[in-house]
Each structure stands twice: as C-alpha cells, then as structure tokens.
Amino acid sequence: MLLPLNSKVNSLFDEGTSLIIVPDLVLMLLRLLLLLCVLLLKSSSSLPTEGKSMTLTCEVHTSLQKPRVQFQFCFFRDNGALTSTCNSSSKLEILAMRTSDSGSYWCEAKPANGKVIRSSRLQIRVHRVPVSDVSLETQPPGGQVAEGEKLVLVCSVTRGTGDITFVWYKVNTGLQLGTKTQRSLTAEFEILMVKESDAEQYYCTADNGYIPQSSGLVSVTVRIPVSRPVLTLRTAGAQVMVGDVVELHCEAQRGSPPILYQFYHKDVILGSSWASSEGGSSFNLSLAADHSGNYSCEAGNSLGTQHSEAVLLNVTVPPENSKRLLTSGSIAGLLSILSTITVLLLFCYWIKRKIGRQPARISPRSPPSPLPQHSTYLNSPSPVPLQPVYENVNLVSGNDVYSLVYSVQQEQGSAPEPSRTFTDEKVSLPIYSKLKKATIAAVDYSDHEDYEDAM
C-alpha cells in the first residue's frame, strides 16, 4: 500500500507536473508526508573536550527523493532553548564547551504549514582535561628582589581545562598567601612591598576538579641596602702616642653581603676590604705624628653606599720626639740661611772678577795668607790711619768658609821716602773670619773707620 502511495506522492512534487488537486487531498498528502519524515540530531563529538568546540546537526530523513518542503530548526539542551529563535540552518556550533554544557540535547523541525517534528534526545558529556606540569616563577627573575620593591609570583600549568583554582604558599610558615580561580593557564600573586621577612621558599598548587597538582619550590632572596655604618677606634690606652697601633672598626648593622668597607683619614683613603658576613671590617694603623685628625669609613653593596660620622683622633708626640723635630726644623732653617749667604758670596766673587782682581788662593788646611802688600808710612808729624782692604771669601774645605781682611796705610803727598830698616816696616794686619757648621766666628772691626762700608 505504501509504495503506490509514495510513488503518487512523489509524482505530485515532480517538476513539470500539472495537476489540479483538491485542497483536502493536498492536506491529506502533507500529513502523510510528515509521518514519513524522521528527524535526527547528530553531534561532532559525543565526548567533547572542555574548551573545544562542538557542532550539532539536525537532519530530516524522508522517503521522498526531492522534498519541496522548507523547515525551521530549533535546538535545545535539557529543558532550555540554545537559540532565541528558530532559523533555516540545520546546524549549531558551540565554540568553547564547558563541563556545565553536559546534558540532553534535541532539536525540532517545523514546516511552513504542518506539524512540528522533534528529534530523539542525545546525551552529551563534556570531558575535562586535568591540570599538569604546574610551575612557579618570580618577577624579577631569579627571585632576587630589593627591599621595598614589588615581587610577583606566577603560577602556571601546561595543560588543564575549565576553571582552575590557583593557591600560593610559604614553605616554612605554611601560610596560604592567596587564592585565584579563573579560566586560564596562568595566574599571578603580587607582594607590593617586599620586606626582609619575605625572604622565603614558595610554591603553588593548581586544581580544576580532579587531583590538585603542586609546583616545585622557589627561593626568594630579599637584598637589603646597607645602613649607615659606625666607626670605632680601638686603642690600647686612653692616650694615643706616636708608634701605637690603632684599630679602625667599621660596621653596618643592616645590608646584604658582600659589603665593601673603606677607611678614610681627612678624606684620603687608607684601605678597603670586602665583608661577606656580619661583623663589619677592621683596619690596623701604626700611628705617626701626622696621623691626628678626623677618621671616617664607608660601607656599600650593589644597592648603594653609606658614610659614617667623623671620629677625631689626637696623637700625642713624646718629648724626645718633639726635641728631635725641633732640632730638625732648626737645622733646616740654618741650612736655608747658609744657602742664601753662599749665593750672595758667590755673587760678590763674580763682581770682583769683573773689576779685574784675582782672589787669593788659600790652602785647604790652613788659613789664608795676606797679600804681598805693605803698609806705607808718610813722612809727616802724625801717621795716616790705616785703611782696611777686604779680600774675597772662599769655600775651602767641607763646611769651613774663610774671610780675609787686611789693612794698608795709603800714601799721601810726594814727600821723599825716608830710609827705613827692617824693623821699621810694618806688615798689614790680617783678620780672619771662619764660618763652620752654621756657627759664624766674630770678626773685630773696631779699629776700622769704614765698618759699615766693609759690611
């Protein structure tokens, strides 16, 4: 019975067929057609993975080879519609599936004029991927952060679907720092201002409904800038004297090692040393007379430097050292005076040679001899006073300097020279001055009238 009927129905929808059909017969044929249609709902995956897409297809199956009926399709899950309105597309794509998208799916096909056809239900369970390969990283990298800066703990997984809950922990204290739940493979926890107590080991866990997974341990090092150091001068007694040894100890109470300590005297560096642990650094100094004054030290690491306050040290000089220093100063002054005198005498020697007079040669080991000139006495009631004549000064031996002064009575007038005997002749009177080791011998010029000129 169905085959002839189906062939008749098909002939009604063949192109080019021109039949006059009674309306009641058309209605009967449409109802019969709908009874022969089968609606099926298909899914691209019966066990879709969370986060993946899924496509639903509503298929109409009929015995007619070329159906001319247009349908409107609607899709449902459990008791709710997946679309607000029905449309002519027989497919529906869900872009990102969630576990909450698990349920019973079905569709409807509604012809333009006819009864709605409903498909059978299709059970779909969304599969979730467990988290795996949990890791913890820090920003800045390496877990090196300065006190007061921001530290970021980044927890991540390589696999895992759905909402993932991330939790951060401190190892030693077991303190739970924070929790975040989000549909992401990574999550961050921030410590805005790091303190010294935050130098710890950390780890994190991730869970998306299966077994929670933990990361490895990460160490965080908090680098601390050095505090202002304190300089201490350690001596054997209350009074510090020349020759004593003083210990300069510099220590910063806070600061991450290694710390460089430098010691100063009047802003001049004395020495430096690296300290890799607590306790500061020391420098030993053997004191001299010029070591009195202000001392200070400096401490620094990679985060900056700090300078200590100045400490005054007075070095006492013993009396014998003071005398020695005074004698040294006196000798230096006398040597300076002798140098000046020597220059002046050499200048006089040069002037004398310019006027044509030759200096007397004096033996290195004996005082200078007078020049071969004799005093001349005039024939007159009273003799003429002797006139002093000065000879050049010569440096003879070592530090000995000799000066020769002789006097000659000059002739006056043209009176005839009387006869004289050996006993009547008077030799010129030499006067010597010896200068040795900064000690000048006194010279007697009291018999000379031209004292100032002689000087």
CB 338 within 8 A of CB 438: yes
> Residue 187 is encoded by which pair of tokens?
């999550």
pLDDT for residue 128: 87
248 residue type, one letter: L
pLDDT for residue 165: 96
SS3 13: helix
pLDDT for residue 207: 95
Q: How far apart are CA 97 and CA 83, in angstroms?
A: 16
Q: Characterize the bridge pairing of strands 151-156 and 186-191.
A: antiparallel
- CB atoms near residue 255 (< 10 Å): 22
Cα dihedral 56/62/66/67 (nearest 10)? -80
pLDDT for residue 173: 82
CB 370 within 8 A of CB 428: yes
188-225 burial, b at 16+ Cβ within 10 Å, e below that, comes to: ebebeebeeebbbebbbbbbbbeeebebeebebebbbb
Residue with tokens 């929790």: 179
| C-alpha 442: how far from chain center | 73
Q: How far apart are CA 92 and CA 54, in angstroms?
A: 8
Global confidence as pTM: 0.52
CB 248 within 8 A of CB 296: no
pLDDT for residue 228: 96
95 residue type, one letter: L
- Mean pLDDT per block of 10 residues along the chain (455 residues) reads 39 42 57 62 83 89 66 91 89 88 91 84 90 95 93 95 93 90 94 93 94 94 95 87 93 94 94 90 93 95 94 86 55 71 75 58 45 36 44 48 47 44 42 44 43 41
Strand ranges (DSSP E) for 140-267? 144-146, 151-156, 164-170, 176-182, 186-191, 201-207, 213-214, 218-219, 221-223, 230-234, 245-251, 259-265
Q: Residue length, the chain?
A: 455
Candidates 398, 403, 390; CA nearest to 453 is 390
pLDDT for residue 455: 36
CB 307 within 8 A of CB 296: yes
